[in-house]
Amino acid sequence: MIKQAQADYVNNGWLREGSRLLKATKWFGVLAVLLVATLWLVYPQPLERDAPRDLPWQLPDYRLANTHWEVGPQGKIHTSVEHFFLEDITPDMVAWFYQQLPISTIAYKGVTYPLYHIFHPTEHGTLRVVAPAFDGTPGMATGALIARDEWFGSYDSRGTARIIELSPSGMLAIPQFFGLKIGEVRHSFKGLNGGTSYRVDTIIGSNLPVIGRLLNFYIRTWVFHPQMLEQWQRHQVEEVASLQFFLAQIYRQRGGGQHFTLD
């Protein structure tokens, strides 16, 4: 009995030590990821910027749109953008456009561009499907992992996000940074009088205990600081407003592949 009790005590001790080791290893891994991520953020390679496209429309003044941001619980950033109303563009058209966005091209004045370049005339680099949708649907669809390179004024922005939902009701994307989830971006589409009311609500930040607050402080201070947020929201308003000028035309060309023509 005594020997058995001693053996049980030793075994339980090993189990306790093993549990502590697993927890320590987990936190060490998280810290290592954060260290690598911090170095990547502090010393990023500058993006190669494409020349502005000469497109036949004038973007509206972004300051006339309703935008807002604030710091919420756990130091995470909460933002909202009420886009200009999209006349004669339905939610189905908007959802179709996003699905096509990373895989399609468009020709204008004899030049072929990635469709992503037409979405904003000066601040879009590349948009790539890193992992396909769960059901194999090409492009941006539920389950796809999408990587982007773009810039907002003088601020470069790289990001990867998992598409959780894409439908005529909207889109939900979960940004990922070195495997860590850092918030959510929710697009809401609502049909109204033959057009679409379009809103984006974003949360930027981590839910990790203790370390999450430190990461959120870093994000607020060095990445999505107030000047960056203003330029990012300007960019959002401008790109969605551009849909008014070309989406209806390329939507009429759907079913003919992933290449479109802009008259």
For the chain, give every domain's residue range.
Answer: 1-43, 62-261
Least confident interval from 35-44, 220-229, 238-247: 35-44
CATH H superfamily, domain 62-261: START domain (3.30.530.20)
pLDDT (tens digit per residue) in 92-133: 999 999 999 999 999 999 999 999 999 999 999 999 999 999
Task: Please give the model's pTM, rounded to 2 decimal places.
Answer: 0.83
How far, in Å, CA of 232 to CA of 223, rounded?
11
Query: Would you give the end-to-end CA distance of the chain in angstroms?
Result: 89
- Strands 259-261 and 105-108 come out as parallel
The helix (run of H) or strand (run of E) holding residue 170 is: strand 170-177
How far, in Å, CA of 193 to CA of 171, rounded?
21
Average pLDDT, the chain: 88
Token digits of residue 36: 């690598």
How far, in Å, CA of 120 to CA of 187, rounded?
18
How far, in Å, CA of 239 to CA of 94, rounded?
12
pLDDT band of residue 73 (cuts 50, 70, 90) is: confident
pLDDT (tens digit per residue) in 41-50: 544 688 999 8
